[in-house]
Every structure is written in structure tokens, then in C-alpha cells.
Chains A and B, each alone.
Chain A
Amino acid sequence: MDRALAAEHLNAAFGDDRVTELPTVAELTDLIAGLEIELVRGLTETGFRADLSPLRRTAWYLHGIASTAETSRYPLEQRRRAFAVSAHVLDLLLEDPAETGRDRLATAFAAQVGYHRADESPNASAIHRKMRDRVSEPAEFTDSADVALQAGILLLGLDMAALNRRLRTWALTTAALTRGTGLDSLDGTMFGSTQRLLRGVADLVQYLREGSPDALETARGHLRLVVNAEVGLSDLDTRWVAGHLLAIADGLSGSSIWAVLPPKIPAAVKQAFTLDQQPILTLWPPQRSLVTDPTISPLDSATSRLLVSVPTSAGKTLLAQLIICAHTAQDDRDVCYVTPLRSLGREMRQGLRPRLRYLDRRLGADLPDGFGTQDLFNHNTTDGVEGTGQLPQVEVMTPERLMNALRQSPQEVLSRFSLFIIDEVHLIAESGGRGLLLEGLLSLLDASGARLMLLSGVMGNAASLAAWTSTGQAEVLFTDEWRAPRRLHVLLSTEKIDGSRTDIPARRRGARDKTRYDLRARLAVRPTSATEQHLVTSEDTPIGQLVLGPDNKRISGADNTSPAYATTAKTATLLLRAGSLLMVVSQRATARDAAKVMAGELEDDPRSQGLADALAARLGDDHPLVGTVRKGVAYHHAGLPVEVQEAVEDAIRSETIKAVVATSTLTEGVNLPVRTVVIATTEYDGQDPAYRMTAAQLLNAVGRAGRAGKESEGWIVLALQKALTNSDFDRLTPGPDELEVRSTVATPSALEALAAAEALVAHTQDAILHLTPDQETGGFVNYVWFILHVLELVPDLASTRTWRDVVTRLFAFTQLPADLKERWLELAELVATRYEQTRPASRRRWAQAGTSLASAAVIESLAEQLADQVQQMGGLDEQTLEETLDVLTDQAVYAQLLELPEAKKYWRFRKSPKGEDIEVDTDAVIRDWIAGRTLTELANAHLASVSDSAFRLEQMVDGISEGVQHYLSWTVGLVIAQANDILLSRLSPVQLFASTAVHLRYGVDTPLAIGLLVRDVKSRTLAQHLGRIADHSGLDEEGLREYLSEQHIQGWRANLGATPTDVLDLLQYVQGRDRHKLAEIMATGTVTAQSRLEVDERADPVPVTVVASDDGDELRILVDDRSVVGVIVARDHSGVAAVLDSGLLLDFTLQGTTVTITRAAAGHLSFV
């Protein structure tokens, strides 16, 4: 249930007034609830049934009293609540088909005003999105009311790009008109108010962009004149818009980046947010209250510990970006942002990259988990800083990668970073080893002396984690329940349509008679805790069938009762009209099959064809994902190649596809906000609870519904295979008890594992070596070993702490009873003893491995084997990739690594889903993979005995993704690093090819291709292609950049077959390390770019303009007569595009091939 509908909020909105002619609070709740239900119903049947007039009247009444002056008898809090409730209702009324034309614009603007004034500004952006089509064409300047409403809607939606374009158009018209009148302005004429309103809006934009208090004051002055009707005839809408913008200007002056960030933060940091192509102009309430907190503001370098626990969509990611940018602008040492969610990491990178570039700071390359130190310390070619010797100032990585780095070089890692931000820290409760790894990381980083900021979703016991964070020293917890989008809870089940009964007599002797019914969906909708209504889907469009035997037992299997995923998927298809949808299921195969069911209900979607083509190129035409994506539906699970997962995530974010079906383990790992979340995991009596979604997982999935800034409401649909009861709704709102974050070491299963380990150890002490880190005991053993190793290598740490200090600092030790602490410590003592008994080189290597200690020992012996062979072969230098691959083949390294328990079933192939296993030549597959062959080619070449081509391809995709890219790349990397270490220790000059594992990871065969993939380019085919071109032509990285820049975007499309995504990637790549052009122009007032001219160069500077071509592929340089004389070179394309998009007013001159861009003297848009 949501804030706006809570009775106390409705009561607060109405205050003490007895307004007898409006619905009572209870009636209003029912009416709003009814309308919410109408919206759900609207998806199955068209049109609204409800009489909306009482709601409409109430909404405008509340908007009216909320709009009264500060001094009115309505207190501030009542007006705020009245704005919130009216905004909610007006927002819903926008869905009413009867609401059209300018009325609809006014309703939208009033809803936006309400959301802004109620501090729910992201919902105002969501309203703008709803109105996008309606405001996409600029209103004629002479249509004053339309101009006012459009300007208002764009401003309150904070759509700066569109608003800047619109203001330019209107500025040209009003300036021309003003000149025509011979007056200084249009004041007093019929256009006076419109002109002043636009000047006010333009000044507000300038304030938000550059923070000048003068601009804010001028804006107020213009708007005041309009409100007071002092500047000529004005229609009510223009004055109404001006009146609210005036009030909101006051709000903006309290919530803008400029107002909230402390003055000591350099202006460039603020500009990095406000001048971005996706600008951040204001902060949300939780962000504001944290940033301005007197004691725990993360922007204050004195704040060394902090725990922020807020719901999804509260703006945590942006907060992290602010902290990072502020820190790196003021501190010499680096920042490490850690998130277990790979996709969140990618989102963070996308957000940070342009901001850091603006600040002349660098972001480290996006490398896989296994590449701990190499990249972090500039030891090889994959380093992101291209041989400058300087490290990037900011790294974004997973806990696994940071842990790997610490295992290799703890001293260097700990001394490099002065700030660690650990996001999604509640995931310390995640089983399977990841949680414990994160917990262990926290305990070590805590000892490091760096600033440590922890961010998490909602936790039942945030206070105790906070107390742990600060060791009880100070208040370090920040919580806030604010969240902009509302949520609507829906339960879904199926029921038979009685009238559809068909009796099917047995077809052959001995078979059974059957009865078949059509199924329809029953939806229980609960807009408030007190209101619940049931809806059913139409009987004419059944969502499946139920087949019963003579004993009334359900018969499943082909042609019988439809599986639950299928009926849910069919119902989910109906909900797609509301917006993007995520369906969560239990199994990978179900994800695929449910996506197929949804796709079967849909037509080809033109928006999705580009992605489908790209996936077909990567996965092959036969891959089932390609077929579903053509219809706009994808599935997503850990078995798909990472690049494919990322493409699917990007596609749902950008609405290139409309639905994705994912496994439940994945919603934890992926930050995928959508309009509607359908939870359709399988549950049955007697099921192992470990396979059910936990309350936290459920809440996490629920949190994905409703994207802040994109929509004001999200729906959560819980699909159940049973009759619905009221209490089923409770599962969607778990309480603090259910959301308690417990260390995995303190869980019942951990205690069972501990008891088992104790029994084993009593038998043989070596047993501790065989405990694998994906279980709590193995993870714990592994961690203790690691800490012993760290203390050995970091004397500073060892001088102040014992291993017991660090181990007992684990959060688990705040949750365990004394006797259990003792037992875990006894296990730790055994590890310490064993550590002492192991020779130093081995114990170091075992610590570095990160596998179970027994597997680490196998890896070490493999490394020795390899070192022996290489030494025998002789040589003076690092081997080539080819030579090292030969050594790996000779020593049967892959086969031995695939026998370790860590290999799981990553490399298993079958003839059919339940058929017999088949042997695959691992070595041959890997060589073909590195040679750049496509997954389809690999599948056809190496799995020819699998007759079903789709299954063949799917298995190869799974095998490459999990077996090669993840597992072998990691373990082969370990073997080679250790072998090289051994060779060095033997003073042998020869080394194995150090980057072999990177080639396994990326499936390309040139270092340049890897350089492309770890930085900007996502397409393996493109990277391989460019790598080969560079190889043939002897180009180094800079040479390749020039080659690419020379071809320009059209050349990339024509010669390299670059897709739109590839083009964006290459634009990033060709920029190299050039300074951010916008930052330069802001700092110095001028910036240059190079052009490719179609005419002769001119020695004298000539004034020109630069405009983007319609397809955006070229930034064309135009002279006075509007003829095109050339284009901006590819290398400068992105930079100049950013300058153009900033909304700054610019002058351009061309001299030779250099285009000089300066800020126009006037500085801002002129309307007179």
C-alpha cells in the first residue's frame, strides 16, 4: 500500500475542513482504488467504467487549496499532502481517454506541480514521459497557453535537451517579433506575458545548469511580472504556469545541485552533473538530507564510516557518483566502488565515465573478476591508462575482483585507495560463498584506514550493521523510506471456466477418459490495505487449459494441463500494455519457455529487430533468444554470455524490448527496473526452503517495479498456483524480522556444515583443505588463510592486528552466540596451524588462488608441471599465445582443471536435454574460440552429434560462457601466473604468455582486440576484426584510433558493418584521452575541434555554425549561406556533440581545419 492512499495522508490533505460536497476520505480511497483497478482492467477490457467526476473535482479542490499563498489558513504540511494526493489522482486521470487536448496538458502540468511541491519530483518526470507525444512538436509562439504548458511540462520533467531546443525555437520567434515592434521587449502587448514566461524559464534553466544566483533572481523577476499581469494580456494558463514556476523556483533553489552541494566542492564537480548529456539538476529528498547532514555527510572527508540503507529507487546510485566525484576532485588517492551486481557496476560506469572525463579523471577498465592485479597495477597491456604509468583514479569492480586483487597484492591495493564504497552490502547474506566473501572484504577494508561507505537496500537490522561499521563509536546510519513511484500489488492465479467443459473419451483401450476446461486468470488487486478487488480475464481468450483424469486429478504433460509458467506468461502479455515487464521464474529452461509463450502471443516488434540481428550475429539464427527478441521478449539467465546478458539489460532499459523473463537468482544480480514485475517462481509443498525466494529476494524483485523518473507507479504481480487468500498479499510487504540480514556464517546451514567439518577434522586434519569456498566452512577456512597471508605481506597491518582481530571483526561475530564463536575460532586455529606448516611459497599461492586449498594445491602442482616443461623447452622471452596454448594442450591442463570441484558442471554436453553425455575436444574448442569463430560455428563444428540445432547452440553458449569465459579463464590464469612466478624464482628468462587467460575470456587473438573489449567496445566480432586490421597494417593503438577517425561514422557502418551500439562504442574509443570539451569550454571559455573539409582550407577565420545531421552521424560545418563545408572529425565528434547538447550559447569560427568554439558573449539565450 502506498503513502498517498494511506488514510492518515488523505486526512492530512483535507485537514479539519468539513467539505461535505466531496467524497469522504473512505469514499475517496475507494474511488482511487477503483480507478487503479480500472487501469488493470483496462488491459483486458477497454474503456473506463467508473464515473470519474467526483475524483476529478476532489483532485482540483486539493490542487486549489494546495496552491493558496503561504499565508493562507492551510498549513504547509496540509498543502504538501494536498499536492501529493491531487498529483496522484490527476496522474491517474491522464489515463482517461476522455481527457484530451489542452485539458490534458493542464492536468499533466498540475500533476507535475503537485509532485514537485510534495517532494516527489521523479514522478513529475514520469508525467512528462506520458506526455512526450503531446509535447514533441513545438507549439506556435502565438499559441500562448500551449507555449506556457509545454514549457512548464518540459521544465518540470527536467527534460533539458528538449527544453533547450524548444527555447531556442521560441527565442528566435520572439526576438524577431520584438525587433519588428521596435520596442525593447513585448511587455504590454499580447505577447508580453509569454515572452516574460519564456525568459523566466530560460533563466531557471541557466540557474540549474550553472548555479548563478543572479539567474535565479532574474527568473523570479520575469515570472512575477507575468503572475501580476503587469506585462500585457495574458491567458489564465500562462499566468497559472508562471505562478507555479515561481513557487517551484523557490523549491529548486533548495534542491538543485548548486544549492545542496557544499560550496567547498569545486564547481567542476557540480557541472559534471548538471552539464551532462543526461543532466542531474536536482537531488531527491534522501540524497539532500544525507549530503547536508552535519555529522555524516559523505561529501565531508572527515566522515570515515557510513551506512546508507534506503529502498530501491531512492537514488543510491547517483549518491555514490556524487561521493566518488567529490572525493576524487579533492583527494590524491583513488576510489574503489564495489558492487556484487555486475549490471549495477556497468550502470555506474556509464554514469561515471563522462563525469570523470569532465573532471579530467579516469575510470579503470572493466575487467573480469580473475584479473586482480594485472590491470590494477599497470603490469600488462590491458591496463586502462595506455602506458602513462598513471593509474585511473576510480575503479568499479565486483567484490570478487577486489578480493582477487587483494590476494595478489594486498599492500598495493590497500595503500592505493583512500575511499571504498561498497554497494548492495545487504548481500553479505547471500549464500553460496559470495556473501561471506563480501563480509570478509568488509572486515579487512575496515582495518585498512580508508574511508568506508556502505550502501544497501532495506534491511531489517540496519542499526546493528551500522553499529558494527562504526564499532559502536558514532552514529553512522542513514535511513530514509522515501521512494517516488507508488506500487500496486496484484495476486494472480488461474481458474477453470466452467462453461468450457469438454469430455474427451479415451482413444484406446486401457486409456482414461479425460475432462478439459479452458482456464482464465483471476487477479486480486489491492490498491490499499483495506481495498481488494478481483478481476478475471475474458472467457473468450483463455490463457490455457486444465485437463483432469477420471479421479479429478490434474494431468500434466504435452497437450494436457498447461504448465503454470505458460498461463502466467500469457497473462503477463496482457499487462505489457502498461509498460516494460520483468517475469521472474525458478529455472533457466522455464525462462526460455515462458519467453517463447509470450513471444507466441505477439507480433514482430520493429524496435527489437536491431537487437535480434545483433544477437543472431553473436548466437546464431537458431538460438531461441533470437526468435523471442524479434517479438520484443527476451530471457536472461547466468548461462548466457555476459555480453548477451548485458545487451538484454540495456535493451529493457532503453525499451528496445518490452519484456524479459529471468531466473530468480538473477534478480539479485541485476538492477533491472521495469514497470511491472511478475513473480512466477515455482512453489510447492515440501519444497526445500532454500529454493524458494527469501523475503529479501522477493523485496528486491518487488523493488524493481516502477522506475523513478520514468513512471509514477509500478505493479507487482505475484503468481500463485493456488486459491488466493488475503494473507498472500503479506508476502509482498515483508517486515523487519524477515528482512534481517544474517551473516552466512551465522545461519543454521552454516552450523550444520560446521558440525560436519568438525567431525571430518576430528578424523583427519587435512579435511580442512577440501572444504570448498561455496560453502560456509570452506569459505571461512579460505578467508582465515587469506587473512594470514595478508598480514604476512602487509607489515603495517600486522603491527596493529592479529589474525584473530581481523577474523573476529567479521559481522558474523556480532550475531553468533559465544559458544559458536568459540567453535568457529577453533576451526580458524586449525587453519592457522596448517598455514604455519605449509611452505611459504605454497601458502602464498594457495591464498592467491581463491579456490579450496586442495584445489589450490592441484593448481600449484600444475603450475610446477608447466614451469618444468617450459624450462625444458628453453627460450629467452615471453612465449607467444600460440606457444602457450600448445603447452596447455601438452600438459592436459584443461582436463585437470575441469576435474576440480570448482568446475561444477560448466563443461558438460549432451546429445539431447536428457540424453547421454558426449565428449568434446576442449582444446580444439578453445583454439577456435580464440580464433574468433562464432558460437554457431563452434556449435556446428564441435557438437555435430546434437541433432537439435537450437539445443546444440544453447549448450555451446552455456559451455563457452561458464566453462571457458568464466571458469577456465580464471583457473588457467592462476596456473600461468603461478608457473611464471615459479620460472622467475628459478631465474629462468622464459615466461608463459601472461595474458592467455584474457584471450580465453574474450575469445579474440590480438592484444588490440582485448584493449578494445576491456574499454569501450562491446562487440567481439568488431574487436576481433579491428584487431586483425591493426595486426596486418602494423598499427598500434594510436594508429588504430587514427585509422578509425579517418573513416568517420559512415565508414564504420559501410566498411565494418558497425551497428548503432558499435558506433557509440567507437566514438568513445577514438576520443582517447582527450580532455572533455565541455569542461574545457567551461573552464577557459573556448575549445577547438578538428574538421574534415570538403572545400579548400581558409587561412582567415570565418564564422560558421555546427549542426548535427538528422541521423546524428555527422556534425556538419555550415557557412553563411547554409552550405556544408565539412564535418567534425570522429575523434572530436562526441566532445563537440556534448558541447552542442549542453544548452550553452556558442559561437563557432573555422580557420584552416580548426573549428574554434567559444561561449557567446551574451552568455544566454535572448528573447528580445
Chain B
Amino acid sequence: MTRAQAPVEHQTASALAHLSAAESEEFARTNQRSTVHDYLPQTFHDGAAQANKCEWSAHVAVSLTPEEAGALAWVLIDTMMQVRFGPAAGLYDTWRQHTLAGTKIPSPYKETIASFIEPVFGLPDASKSEDHLHGHVGEWLWHLLTKDNAAVRVQPDPKGDVTDAGADGFSIYENSTGALRFRLWESKKNTGSGSLSASLNEAYNQIAASGQRYVAKIVGTFSQVSNDISGEMLTFIAEVPAAWTQGDELVGAGVTLATHQELPKAPFKKMSNKLPLLNKPGQLRGLATSISCYDELTKTVRRYAWTAL
């Protein structure tokens, strides 16, 4: 792993800024690279679970070409918008067609569609915090890179608004023996020049300080009135608050990092010190995504979202 050189990054960025959504879509389609995995293959996995250890994997992309970065941005925004529109397929189609054609959506569709874009991204004439944009793309990367795991029983999609409050995600999954496990995920992005360990420490601290609150809220969303929640799941969920307090093996924590920086050898090394109760094998997980043009990538995602407005 070598650190991306500034001039290269700069060059990538400016070339990326000139790509259109249509060109990116075409690149993804013709190369049959339609999922995030096609751009961000796992580049590293840190072996088996052990006590006092964070098991982690990395997806590093230091050499994405402008075309690849643009296509990844397209794959991301296309997925996000599809989820945002849901059954409003007509609106999704309208948005997609105009975005790809490089034309503006006429009123009154424009106003309606803008409402679906506004959360997190803001609108061209009223953009929102870039911090939230970076974070939101990071959450989606984590979600798309992990959701297809067959063991996962519950893992909600990232919601279309990112804030500083609340957990960034959780999953309930089966471990190798088929027993249910809970993991709380905290997502961090690092897009500046600050140290990665500072960002990660913030994530560990947040889990330590607020994990109990996130857990309490999550428990409150599982109620007996749901028809499709099994008794097994309810029984399990009821154990989570106490398990979290005690650091019981039923629960674990995960931290996901999205950055443009080069990853150190063992980015999650301090996690076990910061979360000492979660010291049993398999309780700590890490996922690092290093994309040298991360900032530019997220802005391209947003640019594509706005293209037709």
C-alpha cells in the first residue's frame, strides 16, 4: 500500500468533475460493474477472531480511474435513489432518465423529486453539510459491502438523513453455531488531514458513551405486536440491554471507517483497549474503506443526484 500522491489525486478529481452521469452509467453498464464490490474488492482480512482483538477487513482503492470513480458514484446514487423512491417508480424513472439525458425535470415533477433528494444532499441552491454527505456515503458503503452476508437476520438500510445522534447501524446475525448475535456499528469518515486514530477513537468513545442509548432505542423498536418477529428474536432482543452493559458475548461492536487516507497496518488496534468489556473473540469488528478520492467521490454522488434539478 502506498499513499496516493497529491498531484494524482488532484488530477483524478478534476477529470472526475468533468464526467457526466450518463458517461458513468455507461461505464458501469458496459463493463458490467454494477455493485460496489466491483470497485471496492476486499483487499485485506485480518484472520480469525480472538480475545481482545478486533477482526477487521479493508477495501482499499488507491488507483480508481476517474471513470471508475464516476461509475462507483453512479452505482451509489442510483441505489440510493431507488431506495428513496421505493414504489414511486415513475418518479425514479423520470429522475434517472433526465439525469442520464442531462436534461432538467420539468415542474411539477421537479418539486416532488427535489423533496426526495433534499434529505442529506440538500438542493443545488441550498446544499447541506458536507460532513453529513461524507458520513452518509460512508454508511451506504458499509451497508452495501456487508448486507449480503447470509448470516445477517436484521440490518436496516441507512436512512436518508444522517445526523450526529443515534447509532449508525446495527445488525442481528447468526454466528457459526447458529446463535443470534447483536452488533452495533459506528461509522466514521475521515476526509481531512486529521489522524485516522483520532477519528477511530471518536468512534470507540461514542460506542462506549452512547451504546447503551442506541441499544435502548433499538429494543424499543422490537415489540410483540409485530407479526413477523419471531419469539426467538424477541427473547434475544430482551437480553441485549443487560448483555451490552456487561459486555456479554451476545453483543459486539463494529466500527467502519471511510477515508481518503492510507490505512495503517492495524487501524483498529486500540479498539479493544477502548471497549475493554468486549474482550471475547468475535465481539469487535472493523471495516475500513480507503478511497483516495473519497471527498471527490461523495461530491460526485451529490452532483449526480442534482443533475436533473
Contact call A189/B217, Cβ cutoff below 8 A: no
Given contacts A69-B237, A181-B88, A228-B228, 16 further A-B contacts (CB under 8 A): A69-B223, A71-B234, A101-B165, A113-B220, A142-B119, A142-B161, A180-B109, A182-B90, A183-B87, A186-B88, A189-B88, A190-B83, A233-B84, A234-B156, A236-B167, A243-B223
* Separation of A235 and B88 alpha carbons in the complex (Å): 19
Considering only CB atoms, which chain A residue lies closest to B154 in the complex? Answer: A229
Query: Which residue in A64, A180, A232 is a CB contact (below 8 Å) of B212?
Result: A64
Closest residue of chain A to B229, judged by CB?
A228
Compute how far the CA of A187 lies from the CA of B87 in the bound complex, rounded to whole angstroms.
8
CB–CB A189/B240 < 8 A:
no
Give 7 nearest A-B pairs by CB, closest first. Answer: A180-B112, A64-B241, A64-B216, A188-B86, A235-B159, A72-B238, A102-B165
Given A188-B86, A190-B119, are A101 and B228 also a contact pair (CB < 8 Å)?
A: no
Q: Which of B189-213 contact A (CB under 8 A)?
A: 209, 212-213
B residues apposed to A, CB below 8 Å: 83-88, 90-91, 108-109, 111-112, 115-116, 118-119, 156-157, 159-161, 163-167, 209, 212-229, 231, 234-235, 237-238, 240-242, 244-247, 277
CB distance from B116 to the nearest CB of A (A): 6
Contact assessment for B83 and A233 in the assembled complex, using a CB-CB cutoff below 8 Å = yes
- Minimum CB–CB distance from B287 to chain A (whole Å) comes to 20
Considering the chains assembled together, what is the distance between the CA atoms of A1150 and B13 in angstroms? 64
A244 within 8 A of B: yes
Interchain nearest-CB distance for A244 vs B (Å): 6
Given contacts A145-B163, A180-B109, contact A243 B212 (CB under 8 A): no
Q: Within the assembled complex, what's the spacing in Å between the Cα atoms of A240 and B219? A: 8
Residues of A183-209 whose CB lies within 8 A of B: 183, 186-192
Cβ-defined contact, B91 with A181, below 8 A: yes
Question: Is A144 close to B, CB under 8 A?
Answer: yes
Known: A21-B245, A190-B83, A228-B228. A102 touches B88 (CB 8 A): no
Contact A72 B220 (CB under 8 A): no
| Known contacts A21-B246, A60-B216, A190-B86: A246-B225 contact under CB 8 Å | yes
A1096-1138 vs B, Cβ < 8 Å mask (1 yes, 0 no):
0000000000000000000000000000000000000000000
Q: Which residues of B sit under 8 angstroms from A235, Cβ to Cβ? A: 159, 161, 166
Q: How far is the CB of B180 from chain A (nearest CB, A)?
A: 15
Q: Known interface pairs A145-B161, A189-B87. Does A61 touch B212 (Cβ–Cβ under 8 Å)?
A: yes
Does the CB pair B224–A70 fall under 8 Å?
A: yes
Closest to A107 in B: B213
Chain B residue nearest in CB terms to A140 = B118
**Pair B116/A189 contact, Cβ less than 8 Å:** yes
Q: How far is the CA of A75 from the CA of B235 in the complex (A)?
A: 13
Which residue of the partner chain A has the closest CB to B248? A21
30 A–B pairs (Cβ distance < 8 Å), ordered by A:
A19-B245, A60-B215, A60-B216, A63-B216, A64-B220, A67-B216, A69-B224, A72-B238, A101-B163, A101-B165, A106-B217, A143-B161, A144-B159, A145-B166, A180-B109, A182-B88, A183-B87, A183-B88, A186-B88, A187-B86, A188-B87, A189-B86, A189-B116, A190-B84, A224-B225, A227-B223, A228-B228, A235-B166, A243-B220, A243-B222
Contact status A21-B247, CB under 8 Å: yes
A285 to B235, CA, bound (A): 31
Residue of chain A at shortest CB distance from B167? A236
A237 touching B217 by the CB < 8 A rule?
A: yes
**Given the complex, which residues of B lie within 8 Å of A330, measured CB to CB?**
none
Tell me the complex Cα distance, A60–B208, Å.
13
B161 proximity list for chain A (CB < 8 A)? 142-145, 235
Identify which of A65, A106, A142, A236 gathers the most chain B CB atoms within 10 Å of its CB.
Answer: A236
**Which B residues are in CB contact (< 8 Å) with A970?**
none
Residue of A nearest to B246 (CB): A21
Task: Determine whether the beta carbon of A69 is less than 8 Å from that of B222.
Answer: yes
The answer on a CB contact under 8 Å between A20 and B246 is: yes
Q: List the B side residues contacting A224 at CB < 8 Å.
A: 225-226
Verify A190–B116 contact, CB threshold 8 A.
yes
Number of interface residues of A (CB under 8 A): 62
Q: Which of A20, A53, A73, A244 is close to B220, meaning CB atoms less than 8 Å apart? A: A244
Which parts of A588-642 form the interface with B (CB within 8 Å)?
none
A53:B242 contact, CB within 8 angstroms: no
Which of chain A's residues has its CB closest to B226's CB? A228
Pick the residue among B85, B166, B235 that contacts A237 (CB under 8 A).
B166
Most buried by A among B115, B163, B240: B115
Any chain B CB within 8 A of the CB of A534?
no
What's the Cα separation between A180 and B109 when bound, in Å? 7
Of B214, B221, B231, most A-chain CB atoms within 10 Å? B221
Partner of B163, one of A22, A69, A102, A183: A102
B222 → chain A, closest Cβ, in Å? 7
Give residues of chain A (108-143) contacting chain B, Cβ–Cβ below 8 Å: 110, 113, 142-143
Chain A min CB distance to B80 (Å): 9
A-B CB contacts (within 8 Å), total count: 185
Q: Does A177 contact B (CB under 8 A)?
A: yes
Supposing A103-B165, A183-B87, A235-B161 touch, asked if A229 and B156 sit within 8 A by C-beta, the answer is yes
Across the interface, which residues of A come within 8 angstroms of B116, CB to CB?
A: 189-191
**A531 beta carbon closer than 8 Å to chain B:** no
Contact of B160 (CB < 8 Å), options: A22, A64, A65, A233? A233
Contact check, B226 vs A64: say whether CB atoms are below 8 A apart. Answer: no
Measured in the bound complex, the distance between the Cα atoms of B238 and A615 in whole Å is: 60
> Is A17 on the interface with B (CB-CB < 8 A)?
yes
Residues 234-261 (chain A) with a chain B CB within 8 angstroms: 234-240, 242-244, 246-247
Q: CA–CA, A833 to B157, complex, Å? A: 93
Question: CA separation between A181 and B94, bound complex, in Å?
Answer: 11
- Asked if A74 lies at the interface with its beta carbon under 8 angstroms from chain B, I say yes
Residues on the A chain within 8 Å of B277, using CB: 21
In the bound assembly, the distance between CA atoms of A243 and B219 in angstroms comes to: 9
Q: Is the CB of B217 within 8 A of A236?
A: yes
Chain A residue at minimal CB-CB distance from B87: A188
- C-alpha spacing A74/B219, complex, angstroms: 13
Minimum Cβ distance to chain A for residue B236 (Å): 10
Interface residues of A in 47-69 (CB under 8 A from B): 53, 56-57, 60-61, 63-65, 67-69
A188 CA / B89 CA spacing, docked (Å): 11
Interface centre among A67, A142, A229, A243 (most CB of B within 10 A): A67
Residues in chain A near residue B247, CB distance under 8 A: 21
A67 pairs with B219, CB closer than 8 A: yes
Report the minimum CB–CB distance from B95 to chain A (whole Å). Answer: 12
Q: Provide the bound-state CA to CA distance between A1026 and B85, in Å.
A: 65
A110-B242 contact, Cβ under 8 Å, with A143-B119, A246-B225: no
CB of A783 to closest CB in B, whole Å: 61
A155 to chain B, nearest CB (A): 16
Separation in Å of the B71 CB from the closest CB of chain A?
24
Query: A19 — which chain B residues lie within 8 A by C-beta?
Result: 242, 245-246
Chain B hits for A180, CB < 8 A: 91, 108-109, 111-112, 115
Cα separation A17 to B164 with both chains bound (whole Å): 32
**Given contacts A20-B246, A64-B219, is CB(A227)–CB(B87) below 8 Å?**
no
Q: Are B165 and A246 in contact (CB under 8 A)?
A: no
Contact status of A240 and B246, CB under 8 A, knowing A181-B88, A233-B83: no
Q: In the complex, are the beta carbons of A68 and B245 less than 8 A apart?
A: no
B221 adjacent to A236 (CB under 8 Å): yes
Contact A181 to B83, CB < 8 A, known contacts A19-B242, A57-B245: no
Q: Decide: B159 and A233 in contact? CB cutoff 8 A.
A: yes
How many angstroms between the C-alpha atoms of A101 and B85 in the bound complex? Answer: 28
Residue among B85, B108, B231, B241 making CB contact with A65, cutoff 8 Å: B241
Also in contact, A61 and B159, with CB within 8 A (given A189-B85, A236-B217): no
* Docked CA distance A74–B239 (Å): 10
Q: Residues of B contacting A227 with CB < 8 Å?
A: 221, 223, 225-226
- The residue of chain A having its C-beta at the shortest distance from the C-beta of B214 within the complex is A236
Residue in contact with B164 in the complex, picked from A64, A101, A177, A240, CB distance below 8 Å: A101
A370 to B243, CA, bound (A): 71
Given known pairs A181-B88, A240-B217, the reply for A102 and B241 (CB within 8 Å) is: no
Cα distance A103–B225 in the bound complex, in angstroms: 27
- Closest Cβ of chain B to A147, distance in Å, is 10
